[in-house]
Amino acid sequence: MPGELNSPQESEVDVLIVGAGPAGYMAALWLARLGVNTRIIDKRSARIFTGQADGLQPRVLEVFETFGFADRAMKEVAVGFEACYYDPDENGRIHRVKTAAEGIPGISRFNGSVVHQGRIEAWLTDAITEFSDGRIKVERPLQPESLEINGSGGDYPVRVVLKRLRDELAMPEQFGHTVQNGLYRQFEGDQETTPALLPGEGLEVVRAKYVLGCDGAHSWVRKQLGIEHEGETTDFVWGVLDMVPITDFPDIRKRCSIHSQNSGSIMIIPRENQLVRLYIQLREQAHHEEPELASASPDRSKKTSSRVDRSKVTAEQILDSARTILHPYTLDAAEIQWFTAYQVGQRVASAFEKDEHVFIAGDACHTHSPKAGQGMNVSMMDTFNLAWKIAYVVKGFAQPSILSTYELERRTVAQDLIAYDQKLSRLFSSKPGEISTQDFRRVIEKGTAFTTGCTVNYDRSILVDKPAGQSRSTPHYSPLATKLAVGMRIPDVKIVMQCDGRPWFFNQRLLSTGQFRVLVFIGDYAARANLKQQMHEVGEYLARADGFAKALGPRWESMLELLLIHASPQANVEWDDFPSVFRVRDDRGVMDYWKILADTPCFHDETGQAHERYGIDKEVGAVVVLRPDGYVAKVVEPTVAGVREVGEWFAHFLLPSTPLVMASI
Amino acid sequence: MPGELNSPQESEVDVLIVGAGPAGYMAALWLARLGVNTRIIDKRSARIFTGQADGLQPRVLEVFETFGFADRAMKEVAVGFEACYYDPDENGRIHRVKTAAEGIPGISRFNGSVVHQGRIEAWLTDAITEFSDGRIKVERPLQPESLEINGSGGDYPVRVVLKRLRDELAMPEQFGHTVQNGLYRQFEGDQETTPALLPGEGLEVVRAKYVLGCDGAHSWVRKQLGIEHEGETTDFVWGVLDMVPITDFPDIRKRCSIHSQNSGSIMIIPRENQLVRLYIQLREQAHHEEPELASASPDRSKKTSSRVDRSKVTAEQILDSARTILHPYTLDAAEIQWFTAYQVGQRVASAFEKDEHVFIAGDACHTHSPKAGQGMNVSMMDTFNLAWKIAYVVKGFAQPSILSTYELERRTVAQDLIAYDQKLSRLFSSKPGEISTQDFRRVIEKGTAFTTGCTVNYDRSILVDKPAGQSRSTPHYSPLATKLAVGMRIPDVKIVMQCDGRPWFFNQRLLSTGQFRVLVFIGDYAARANLKQQMHEVGEYLARADGFAKALGPRWESMLELLLIHASPQANVEWDDFPSVFRVRDDRGVMDYWKILADTPCFHDETGQAHERYGIDKEVGAVVVLRPDGYVAKVVEPTVAGVREVGEWFAHFLLPSTPLVMASI
């Protein structure tokens, strides 16, 4: 290795994230929030300021809210509320066939939204800075050169050699010079250049406990692990154009799917400010041997010329095709902000990790068309699923065995995504006349629930306690909470803080703190002696020094939050009635007033629907265990037996700092 | 003038704001937003970081939203949702008599909130920086030395000499050293020290078009103008304590008014995080000639010793009194953050301005007890009322005569505030046993609407078109909008953007841009030929080059925004049906899609109640004119005659850049 002559600097880190895209940023955010020693590197010298991915699904906005910055998003994004479908009429003219809701009304407080990726990365960056006190920031341009996993390597078994690049060599070239575009993306050779070292800097060796490959569709990490990217690249070439339109098309600010008689299809996605994004199938492709602007990079142009020549696509070409489809409506651009062209490829990695120490996420695991607006979202949700698990292992809170749930849970999502994308791409890319517009709408409408991100249903595992043999498409409900599917995210509902009568969206109290949450729904306990008795028994059990939470050792509060939710009328309830385990005082004697919630009416809002929303009988109650990522892990009855079962379940994967001895009752 | 030997630097500015408290910051915010050349100075060298005013009324939060930062507020504040009243029982023990809603449910989306003044000033500062591109920032420590108004002084008739202070001399001393406190406040001598000049800096002469005295209860500006502060200072001394409580009092996170049998009264106001503020009448006062810590400042101590000696009050004394009142509940402090003591004074300035070039606002105009949590709010609303009017005159948009409405409108608010405060103070400060607790609750409950800030009702004036002889306490409603009082702020309602089906709170579309808004409510126009006809006639009239808006000259869009609100079912409406004046294209041909709103159901929210909420008949419609500060100025019918009347009304005070010639029809 040439760099070793320079006797490279060596260091250790708990987690090394390779690639600062959506998956990498989300990993860094979670790890920053949980105080894990983390580095994140990227081989490019600059952030993205226009174009690229731009769709934010409701579930991702819910997750942003748990990190405290959904409000920033909501002030900047364009939200999709209506969808229009256009078909040719009997004279071959396009006309509006239907206006429908965009998304699934009521599934989330958030709706699918768009804003350019640079803004999203800015919010994430700010939050990472805040949570890590500025310690974690993207180091760029820094490129990995080799990666080895040594199973007997002690605490830091992954050895990565990093190379610092010169700034000017780390700006990938783009084809076309008058308009910002994304034509440099998806080139296989992207990673294979060998820019010169900075004098005096050279190589660096990092020894990591865990490495996350968040380095995109052509993932270098994936290649090092020898993981295949399985699937196919289709011949369909699509153009994407971000522009400020001048048009008489009446629905330009709604999401539109338009099928013309003879000129193909277009999707219109309104964006922030005056921008509109067009997705369009390009019907004629230029094929040239040598891309004009690639002469400075012969390796790259050689690679390129063997594929469909995306480099020849121009913004004007995309715009012209859009004009033809939209005829007789007019379309011009006051401003073109960005464009790109891509071939639809649909692939899923053959594995998502190696030796449970190196993981890949995001585009490194799954590639597909951008039409469903899912790529960035699924990528972020990959590492939102993974990073807390790594944090738990790094901190000694959990068995490493929980890490196996990452691939189990996210591979199915990737597969569902590819399956949906294949359907959608086939419809969109079909020749005119072949498309049944009714079929088209049916696929979209059926797929919409999936694209909200709110219907992801994780399989049974060490972290999801439900019966074996459940189909992913059939949610599993406990009879104790008949509308709260085990393995799915907890839906939001309004709830009242007992201490001050303030109504909250529950999601705003279920922040991403890294804690599992034990939600004790105790129903209308004041009206039923048995529930009152149960509540106090459960409270006493939870408070025992040798039992349950406290058995997890001195740091148990980093792992668990205990919340009580009752549904008794406020007039029948007094603060001191509640078990003291939910009214904890700190060392100074100051009470934590925020662990008891009321599912009751309040003076200023419409509340009191939580038991009903979750299918919990107010005369029976339930204990619901949420994972740190907000997914329902387990449902039991609100009794000592139920809570003891939860404790035993935790003991399968949580590690106490003192031995976990379950109390016997 | 001694400084003139230094040949002071001279400059001109449109508006000079003296004092960077809530009134000054709000003035600077508005003027920054409207692009007015502004300076703001303060004689203190440091911002406030704890204590002081902390209440934010719903109306102020609505205004913050129109400037884009209510969301920042809502993430940090403690919101009051419930109020508890405690009285002695037959054994003399305090007990909870009633739990009620805090505030008026439904009057606003916001509820009364608390957070310390330093945070509020931080949000304002950030917004001022953003709107002014960093040009406007508080210059400190800078103290005015003289002020002259010269009526024949041309464009800049107010001459102010400023003196730059040494930093260390501009930190007002506070009494007591272990806990941050506010005991330096309200000293008459505060302004009369003469700190040394910085070498080489000395004096500065500023010639201003307008000067705003936002310099507090002991306003230097007010004194220069010879304005009296009329009213009285009572003998009541109250203590305020911000602390983290250790207590078994069950309602410590609710707003409580507690009357003990023999030990006086206390108000509990929960604050952000774990803090709680106590307001308490101090029963025993220490009277000493020489405050302990004032020896370095003999002038000040001399002034002080002639009044009740607030400087001897300690946090422990306030806490002890609170303990006695709360008995048998226990109370200790894990942490004391801030405290102060004050004498209740109730005064209103004899005038709010001089020569329509120098204005006073905030505490300079009105002082009262802090118990109703109004001081900071009314102060901010003073300059929210004033600054846009000054901006209009400075920019040549309006006759200077509109400035007279400031005192007309805000004096009545100040008087109402003092009257309410007198009632409240008398009740609170009465000797035990004299208080009828029922009377107390009645006063509070009646006053609550006032304290929301949402019921302010401005009198008839050049800027509020309603019949003469209306009582302020009886809102005036046009028969065309029977629930929209002329002179009051427009209440919020949900509304749908026509172009994309997005539901909005109307207040989020009525941003503080400085524009008057002409809201054309056209009802269910699609179902009624006469309304459709009217809409198109009004549209044509509004669009005429010589009529209405355009008669206001090339900058008319800085003064007016035209919005159309319809209530026709979406299936009956097409974008191109609406008059083109509401579908304006810019020079490039890009359409502004955001001037047409729908008062209809939408897919994702409960909308379609605006006509009903405002008492506008969907078969008749109405035109509502809003002032730049969101107050209803005028209501007419949605016809050419109605809109022409609006134009004629505008012509009374708006100045076109070309002569305003009303179109004749």
Q: Could you say which of B8, B14, B25, B54 is catalytic? A: B54
Of A99, A335, A574, which has the smallest distance from its Cβ to B250's Cβ?
A: A574
CB A24 within 8 A of CB A88: no
* A251 neighbourhood in chain B, CB within 8 Å: 575
Of A105, A247, A501, which has the smallest distance from its Cβ to B603's Cβ?
A: A105
Q: How far apart are CA A42 and CA A215, in angstroms?
A: 8
Are A501 and B82 a contacting pair at CB < 8 A?
Answer: yes
In the prediction, which pLDDT does A307 show? 46
Q: How far apart are CA A451 and CA A193, in angstroms?
A: 37
pLDDT in tens, A196-252: 455 446 799 999 999 999 999 899 999 999 999 998 877 778 889 999 999 999 999
Count CB neighbours of A100 within 10 A. 15
Of B81, B502, B575, which has the smallest distance from its Cβ to A250's Cβ?
A: B575
A259 burial type by CB count under 10 A (0-12 exposed, 13-18 middle, 19+ buried): buried
User: What count of residues does chain B have?
Assistant: 665
Query: If you average pLDDT over each of A97-111, B23-37, B181-195, B297-311, which comes out highest?
Result: B23-37
* DSSP structural state of residue A181: B
What is the mean pLDDT of the segment spanning A420-426? 81
Q: Which of residues 323 through 362 in chain B touch A, CB cutoff 8 A? A: 332, 334-335
In the prediction, which pLDDT does A639 show? 97
The residue in chain A having the minimum alpha-carbon distance to the alpha carbon of residue B99 is A571
Are A71 and B75 a contacting pair at CB < 8 A?
Answer: yes
Position A169 confidence tier, pLDDT thresholds 50, 70, 90: low
Are B576 and A248 a contacting pair at CB < 8 A?
Answer: yes
CB B472 within 8 A of CB B460: no
Of A247, A274, A593, which has the smallest distance from its Cβ to B253's Cβ?
A: A593
Query: What CATH superfamily is the domain B9-191+201-285+310-452?
Result: FAD/NAD(P)-binding domain (3.50.50.60)
- Closest approach of chain A CAs to the CA of B74, in angstroms? 10
Residue in A603, A605, A606 to test binding to B, most B beta-carbons within 10 Å:
A603
Q: How far apart are CA B365 and CA A576, in angstroms?
A: 46
Of B105, B251, B574, which has the smallest distance from its Cβ to A604's Cβ?
A: B105
* B244 neighbourhood in chain A, CB within 8 Å: 588, 590
CB A403 within 8 A of CB A390: yes
Residue in B248, B253, B330, B497 to test binding to A, most A beta-carbons within 10 Å:
B253
Of B71, B248, B575, which has the smallest distance from its Cβ to A71's Cβ?
A: B71
Of A253, A575, A604, which has the smallest distance from its Cβ to B500's Cβ?
A: A253
Q: Per mean pLDDT, which range of A186-190, A655-659, B95-99 is the poorest?
A: A186-190
pLDDT in tens, B233-261: 777 788 899 999 999 999 999 999 998 88
B185 is catalytic: no
- Closest approach of chain A CAs to the CA of B172, in angstroms? 33
Q: How far apart are CA B475 and CA B467, in angstroms?
A: 11
3-state secondary structure of A571: helix
Give the pTM. 0.90
- Which residues of A are catalytic, by number? 54, 271, 279, 370
Determine contact: B499 vs chain A, CB below 8 A: yes
In the block, residue with structure tokens 């939102």: A384
Q: Which two tokens stand for residue A322?
A: 């859009």
What is the mean pLDDT of the segment spanning A508-526? 97
Are A81 and B502 a contacting pair at CB < 8 A?
Answer: yes
Mean pLDDT of chain B: 87
- Closest approach of chain A CAs to the CA of B576, in angstroms? 7
Determine contact: B602 vs chain A, CB below 8 A: yes
The residue in chain A having the minimum alpha-carbon distance to the alpha carbon of residue B101 is A603
What is the Cβ-side half-sphere exposure of residue A252, based on CA atoms within 13 angstroms? 29
More confident residue, B265 or B299: B265
Treating both helix axes as pointing N-terminal to C-terminal, what angle do A117-131 and A22-33 enclose, rounded to 10 degrees?
Answer: 20
Residue A387 has pLDDT above 70, yes or no: yes
The residue in chain B having the minimum alpha-carbon distance to the alpha carbon of residue A244 is B590
Determine contact: A606 vs chain B, CB below 8 A: no
More confident residue, B657 or A574: A574
Are A603 and B105 a contacting pair at CB < 8 A?
Answer: yes
* B105 neighbourhood in chain A, CB within 8 Å: 603-604
Task: State the count of interchain CB pairs (< 8 A) between A and B.
Answer: 107
Of A78, A334, A499, which has the smallest distance from its Cβ to B590's Cβ?
A: A334
Residues 6 or more apart whose Cβ sits within 8 Å of residue A371: A238, A267, A279, A421, A424, A425, A428
Are A81 and B576 a contacting pair at CB < 8 A?
Answer: no
* A102 neighbourhood in chain B, CB within 8 Å: 603
Residue A555 has pLDDT above 60, yes or no: yes
Are B590 and A274 a contacting pair at CB < 8 A?
Answer: yes
Residues 6 or more apart whose Cβ sits within 8 Å of residue A160: A16, A18, A144, A146, A147, A148, A205, A206, A207, A208, A211
Mean pLDDT of chain A: 87
Position B4 confidence tier, pLDDT thresholds 50, 70, 90: very low
pLDDT in tens, B369-395: 777 778 899 999 999 999 999 999 999
Task: Spell out the domain ranges in chain A.
Answer: 9-191+201-285+310-452, 476-652
Determine contact: B68 vs chain A, CB below 8 A: yes
Q: What is the ipTM of this complex?
A: 0.88
* A585 neighbourhood in chain B, CB within 8 Å: 246
Determine contact: A588 vs chain B, CB below 8 A: yes
- Cα dihedral sign for B16, B19, B21, B23? negative
Q: Which helix (H) or strand (E) holds A550?
A: helix A548-551
The residue in chain B having the minimum alpha-carbon distance to the alpha carbon of residue A333 is B590
Q: How far apart are CA A242 and CA A340, in angstroms?
A: 9
Residues 6 or more apart whose Cβ sits within 8 Å of residue A571: none
Q: How far apart are CA A499 and CA A470, in angstroms?
A: 41
3-state secondary structure of B531: helix
pLDDT in tens, A401-415: 999 999 999 999 999
Q: Which of residues 274 through 303 in chain B touch A, CB cutoff 8 A? A: 274
Determine contact: A593 vs chain B, CB below 8 A: yes
pLDDT in tens, A268-323: 999 999 999 999 877 644 444 333 333 333 333 333 333 456 778 899 999 999 99
Q: Which of residues 93 through 152 in chain B touch A, CB cutoff 8 A? A: 99-103, 105, 111
Query: In CATH, what class is A476-652?
Result: alpha beta
pLDDT in tens, B200-232: 467 999 999 999 999 998 999 999 999 999 988
Position B542 confidence tier, pLDDT thresholds 50, 70, 90: very high
Treating both helix axes as pointing N-terminal to C-terminal, what angle do A529-543 and A640-650 enclose, rounded to 10 degrees?
Answer: 30
Are A500 and B574 a contacting pair at CB < 8 A?
Answer: no
Q: Could you say which of B22, B370, B491, B638 is catalytic? A: B370
Are B244 and A589 a contacting pair at CB < 8 A?
Answer: no
Q: How far apart are CA B113 and CA B660, in angstroms?
A: 45
Q: Rounded to whole angstroms, what are the CA distances from B78 to A80, A546, B81, B272?
A: 33, 37, 9, 5
Determine contact: B587 vs chain A, CB below 8 A: no
Q: Rounded to whole angstroms, what are the CA distances from B49 to A69, B46, B116, B623?
A: 25, 9, 8, 46
The residue in chain B having the minimum alpha-carbon distance to the alpha carbon of residue A571 is B99
* B102 neighbourhood in chain A, CB within 8 Å: 603
Which of B608, B642, B606, B596 minimizes the C-alpha distance to B622? B642
Beta strands (DSSP E) in A475-553 are: 476-478, 481-486, 494-497, 503-505, 516-523
Residue B35 has pLDDT above 90, yes or no: yes
Are B604 and A332 a contacting pair at CB < 8 A?
Answer: no
In the block, residue with structure tokens 């590819």: A418
Are A246 and B332 a contacting pair at CB < 8 A?
Answer: no
- Closest approach of chain A CAs to the CA of B410, in angstroms? 30
Count CB neighbours of A537 within 10 A. 17
